[in-house]
Amino acid sequence: MKLSSKLVKTTVSALALSAALSSASVFAAGQPDHLGKKQQTNSYSYRYIDVQLLGINDFHGQLDVTRNVGGRAVGRADYLAAYLKQRERENKNTLLVHAGDAVGASSPVSALLQDEPTIEFLNKLGFDVGTLGNHEFDEGVDEMLRLINGGTHPKTGYFRGADFPYVSANVIDKKTGKPILPPYVIKKVKGVPIGFIGVTLSDTPSIVTPSGVAGVTFTDEAEAINKAVKQLKRLGVRAIVVLAHNPGVSNKDGSNESGEIVDIAKKVDDEVDVIFAGHNHAYLNAEVDGKLLVQSYSYGTAFSDVDLTIDRRTKDVVAKKAEIVTTYQDSIKPDPKITKFIDKYEAKVSPIINQVIGTAKTTISAEQNASGESALGNLIADAQRTAMKTDFAFMNPGGIRANIEQGEVTWGELYNVQPFSNQLVKMTLTGEQIRKLLNQQWQSNQTRMLQISGLTYTWDTSKPIDKVVDIYLPNGAKLDPNAEYTVTANSFLADGGDNFTVFTEGKNREVGPVDLDALIHYIQQLPQPFDARIEGRIQQLR
Ligand SMILES: [Zn+2]
C-alpha cells in the first residue's frame, strides 16, 4: 500500500511504543498468541505485529570466500549464517529471502558440485522463499529446476533440492505459455498473510548463453508483478513483497536512487510494500513511490534487514524501514555448524581441484615482452577464440592472475590463472573498430596490452596517439577497415571494462562458456606436453 507521510509519522510513534513494550519483554515477538491475549489491555501490541525480513542477493555460491571491505574481512557462509541467526533471535517473526544469483559464477567448493552445497546452505539456514537471477540459468532450465525441485545429476547423483519455494512471475514456458514456477507464494505470520512475488531481469537472454534460456521467454517485470498483485489482492493479501533480480543503487542515506528497479517500482501497483533488488551488487536502501527498495551488495558481504509493522485488522504494512548490514568477521563468531559444513565440502572437492588437466613443457608466463605480448596471454586468447569459433580474440592482461608452472597442471592451478568466472562473449566488429580498440590500449593513465589471437599488428612507440601501424590477418593480408569480423572477449571486456569502450559497440552478441572452462577444454585437446610461446603477434617498431 501507499502511505501518506502523515500516516507514516503516526506509526513511527506507535513503533517506538511497541519497541519499548517488547524490550520490557511483555510481548516478546514469537510468543504464543494466548500470552498476548492475556495482555489485551494494550490493544496496540495485539493489533500490530512486527515482521523481520532478512534478504540476500547475488550470493554466487561464495561459501568459503572471505572478502575485504575497508581493510576488514567480510563474508563467508559461516559468518553470514551467524549474523542472520543473531537477527532471527531478536525477532522470531522472521522470514529469510533471496533475490536471485544465489548460484552460478560460484566458488569451486560449490561450482564443482553443481552448486548443490549452496542450496543446502540456504536449506540449513531455513530460507523461506527465493527467486531466479540470470545465473540460475547458466546450465539451462532443466538443471535449474533440478537444483530447486530435486533430482539426479550424472556428476553428483541424487540431490533433494531446495526446502523452500522459488517464485517467478515473468519466466514463461514457451510450450505451455505459463510461468515455469509459481509466480508468488503466501507466507503466514501470526495468521497475517504476506505475499512474495518473484521476477527476473527480462534482459536475461542477452547475458546468458542461448542454451541456458532455451524453452523460456522473459516478460515485462512490472506487468508480471501487477498481474500477481491482482491475484494476491483477490485472495485478501495486503502485505506484498517483491523479490526482483533487477538492478538499483542509492546513496547510503537513501538519496539519488537509480536503476531499472526504480522504474519498475514506479510502475507497479501501490499495494506492493517492499522490493528486494539484485544483479548489480550495489547498496540500495530507498523509498520510491511509497515502496521500500533494498539491495545488499553481493557474495554474502552484507544482508538486508527489513522491519515491517503489519496491522492485523487491515493485514497491511503500516510502517517499514531497512538496514543494510555488512558481515564483518571481527564482530561475530562464525557459526560452528556451517564452518564444519564448509570444511566437509572443501575436502570433497579437493580431488577435483587436484585433478591433472595437462602437462606444461615449460613454465608459461603472463610476463609481457617489450612489445606487449605474453606466452600465457597467447594461450588464453587462443583458447577463447577456439571456444567461440571467431576470427579474433582479445584478453585483458589484468584478468590473468598467475603463471602456468612447468609440469603437471591441475584444475586448481588453472582456476588461479582465471578466477573470475567471466563468460565469453562473441560479437561482430568492423576492421576500423578493431583498430580503434587496439589504439585504446594506450590510455592517459595506464597502458594495458590486450592479449590477442587470430591477428598480428605493429605499433610505433614514437607516436603520441593512434600508435597502431599495420594489422594483419593470418594469411598476411591487411585487415580491411570496412569488413566485419567476429571477435571474442570475456564479459568484463565486452561491457567496456578497462575503458575498452569499443567492445560495447559490438553487434550480434552471443554468450558462451565461462573463460576457465574454455581454457581447460583447450588444454585438454592439445598434444601433451603442451606449450605456448611469444610468437611476434604484437611487434613494436620503434
Ligand atoms: Zn544477476
pLDDT digit string, tens, across residues 418-463: 987 889 999 999 999 999 999 999 987 789 999 999 999 999 999 9
Determine the pLDDT at residue 376.
98
Helix axes 116-125, 77-90, angle to 10 degrees: 20
User: Are the CB atoms for 209 and 164 separated by under 8 Å?
Assistant: no
The 10 Å Cβ neighbour count of residue 400 is 19
Is 3 a residue whose pLDDT tops 60? Answer: no
Closest CA to 392 of 350, 353, 425, 436: 425
How far does the centroid of ligand 1 lie from the alpha carbon of residue 422, in Å? 13
Q: Give the residue ranges of DSSP H helices in 247-312.
A: 260-267
Determine the pLDDT at residue 10.
31
Determine the pLDDT at residue 520.
98
How far does the centroid of ligand 1 lie from the alpha carbon of residue 382, in Å? 28
Is 45 a residue whose pLDDT tops 60? Answer: yes
The 10 Å Cβ neighbour count of residue 507 is 10
Q: What cell does 469 get? A: 601501424
List CB-based neighbours of ion ligand 1 within 5 Å: 101, 133-134, 279
How far does the centroid of ligand 1 lie from the alpha carbon of residue 279, in Å? 4
> pLDDT higher for 472 or 5?
472
How far does the centroid of ligand 1 lie from the alpha carbon of residue 132, in Å? 9
Q: How far apart are CA 468 and CA 454, in angstroms?
A: 16
Is 468 a residue whose pLDDT tops 60? Answer: yes
Determine the pLDDT at residue 1.
40
How far does the centroid of ligand 1 lie from the alpha carbon of residue 361, in Å? 39
Across the range 110-132, mean pLDDT stands at 97
Q: Tell me the percentage of the chain whose pLDDT exceeds 70.
A: 92
Is 6 a residue whose pLDDT tops 60? Answer: no
Q: What cell does 369 get? A: 615482452
- Global pTM exceeds 0.85: no
How far does the centroid of ligand 1 lie from the alpha carbon of residue 479, in Å? 37
How far does the centroid of ligand 1 lie from the alpha carbon of residue 65, in Å? 19
Determine the pLDDT at residue 212.
87
Is 210 a residue whose pLDDT tops 80? Answer: no
Is 25 a residue whose pLDDT tops 80? Answer: no
How far does the centroid of ligand 1 lie from the alpha carbon of residue 437, in Å? 27
b (16+ CB within 10 A) / e for 30-68: eeeeeebeeeeeeeebebbbbbbbbbbbbbbbbbbbebe
How far does the centroid of ligand 1 lie from the alpha carbon of residue 196, in Å? 19
pLDDT in tens, 386-402: 999 999 999 999 889 88
Determine the pLDDT at residue 42.
62
Q: How far apart are CA 210 and CA 366, in angstroms?
A: 32
**CB within 8 Å of 424: residues ≥ 6 apart:** 384, 387, 388, 488, 489, 490, 491, 511, 512, 513, 514, 515, 518
Determine the pLDDT at residue 495.
87
Across the range 260-271, mean pLDDT stands at 98
Radius of gyration of the chain (CA): 26
How far does the centroid of ligand 1 lie from the alpha carbon of residue 431, in Å? 32
